[in-house]
Amino acid sequence: MLALSWASYSGNDSHKLLLWDDEPYITENNWVTNPSLDSVRSLFTEPRVGNWHPLTWLSYIPEYYFCETNANCYKNTNIVLHGANSFLVFLLSGLVLSLLLREGDRSSFKLGDLTDRRVFIASLMSGILFCVHPHRAESVIWVAERKDLLSALFYFLALIFYICQQNSASLKTKLLPFVFFILAIMSKSMAITLPAVLVLLDFTLLDRWNEKSGEGATKARFRIAIIEKLHYHMVAVLIAAVTLLSQEVGRVDQPTLFERLAISVAAIEHYVVSLVAPINLSPFYPMETLSMSILDYWQLAIVLVFALALLPMLIYSRKGKRVATLFVGYFLITLAPVIGIVKVGDQIFADRYTYLTMVGFYILAAYGLSKMLNANQRFRIPAFLGFTVLAGLLSFNTHQYKNTWQDDITLWRSAERLYPNLSVTISNNLGYALLSLEDYPLAQQYFEMAIDVDPHRPGAYVNLTSVHQQLGDTESFLNTYILGVENNPENPGLITSAGFGFLAYGLNDEALEYFITALELELNFPPAIMGVGNLMLMRGELENAISMFELVPPNSDVFFPARLLMSQAYGHSDREKSLAILEDLRVKYGRDEEIDSVVEFVVKIDY
């Protein structure tokens, strides 16, 4: 499996860390670049970039020590993790198929049953399909999606040990699935679906509906589903709440009920259709493509008609009902957190969300192919050759598609080709990538395009002012902020940015008005508080400035610059206190150049 993973994803020497999440996760993350006991404690107790996944942050720390900004180094680790996950899918498939094929009592299941030839071939095929399918590319080749790989690793281990523990009375064995569950959700919160999947396994694959325990059927089912897994459910609810708070869902305009339904239907259609025909895949699927017309979901309709045609056969057979419930249920349960019920991003769906969800379909497909291999000796060679060609084509497609993540320009150009002049996010991020390359005229075009598509999205205004600043166009700089605030009068972030923009050009009164407006919209908004403190510092109101800087909370994105300004304020009266603040920042963030410049400033102050 590792060799297949390497064949599908290797050859990334020219790849770079992306501005889109890679750099915020790694090179701009002081937990990774400047690790300490304090930072390790923080990564377990604080969110970062709208996420809480401490094990993922931890995994980057040793890599940064050796790799620094070498993207290929991080991607090689992802390739190895994907190979390991593919092997776990092979084992999981073997367990599932062995139990599905077993008649009667399932309590006597043993790992030795995996040596059954039909099970082994089907399991191997499912692991191969999982390994080479282009659906996996986003999770494997995008460094920031390490969380998918780590979470799936522990998720699959939890499922494997949960199935195997049915024959064990050992407390240690029974605790292992819960330990792996904790590790999975500490890698990515999407793993909160595991308790529901375990219940699904109990009443389908493991057939615990008929468990004889001397109690009534309803009471036994309640015990199995709720009481027995109460610790799982409690952790899942807690992590769900932490995730919603970390991603600040309350700040995002949530879609209507009908829009949520359309998002869910569109996501299911895309995932099922692209499983069979993985063409026109994109690193980003913009929300602007959402259709409210049922006629646009004809591909899903065809799949449903085909499924309904098989329904009578499945209902007639007890095993068929169990199989259908298991695989469809697993797909819907694992997809539920990212199916669009709660909007957390600008994408309508994302291929990385399928890393866990499509496993059941690989098992079914591989089982069908293995039956063809064993049904008639005449079919064996054609079926084997057909699968080999299929796997080879998928691997080649994946190897080509993974280069989409070579750099930001390549990535967003790829999305733009599929969705030209349609998405604010695509235009804005492509403009930002061009801005980082100092291609100011072209970057300006893309930012203006983003504003034309939707003037009520603030990010493009801020980026466009950066272009005007680099070109020395003060009038356009200020007018862009004025226009942005007019179109987004209730966005404290953009209003605060406007305040800092006017402050940079010495328009202090206008800047103060913007800061106050932002604080009226959101009391204790940290960037606006820092802005007021900065203005007071410039006016020489040192005590008032220090009081404002102290109000900026440690978990705020502006805590570091606020503390730098506080050090400057103290530098005029208490040099020792000022230098102590800077030393604390050096220990926590390690951003030496910025800190050294303030130290130089403080030391030169005459008392």
* Tens of pLDDT, residues 175-229: 899 999 999 999 998 999 999 999 999 888 888 776 655 667 778 778 888 888 8
Which tens digits make up the pLDDT trace of 39-84?
888 888 888 877 888 999 999 999 999 988 999 999 999 999 999 9
- Measuring CA to CA, how many Å separate 602 from each of 11, 57, 463? 49, 34, 32
Going by their DSSP bridges, the two strands 347-349 and 285-286 should be labelled as antiparallel
470 has a pLDDT exceeding 90? yes
Structure tokens at 86: 């593919």
Tell me which H or E stretch contains 194. helix 194-203
Q: Report the pLDDT value the prediction gives residue 172, as an integer from 0 to 100.
A: 64
Q: Domain 421-523: which CATH class? A: mainly alpha
Where are the chain's structural domains? Answer: 2-403, 421-523, 524-607
CB 25 within 8 A of CB 110: no
Q: Tell me the C-alpha distance between 65 and 32, whole Å.
A: 9
The DSSP secondary structure of 311-333, one letter per residue, reads: HHHHHHSHHHHHHHHHHHHHHHH
Across residues 124-135, what is the average pLDDT?
93
Q: How confident is the model at residue 606 (pLDDT cuts 50, 70, 90)?
A: low
Buried b (16+ CB within 10 A) or exposed e, 63-101: bbeebeebbeebbbbbbebbbbbbbbbbbbbbbbbbbbe
259 has a pLDDT exceeding 60? yes
Which tens digits make up the pLDDT trace of 321-371?
777 788 888 999 999 888 877 666 778 889 999 999 999 888 888 777 777
Which tens digits make up the pLDDT trace of 542-555?
999 999 999 999 88
Q: Report the pLDDT value the prediction gives residue 309, as an integer from 0 to 100.
A: 59
Q: Assign residue 540 a region: left if phi > 0, alpha if psi is -120 to 50, beta otherwise?
A: left
Q: How confident is the model at residue 384 (pLDDT cuts 50, 70, 90)?
A: confident
Residue that the structure tokens 């300004």 belong to: 565
Q: How confident is the model at residue 110 (pLDDT cuts 50, 70, 90)?
A: low
93 has a pLDDT exceeding 70? yes
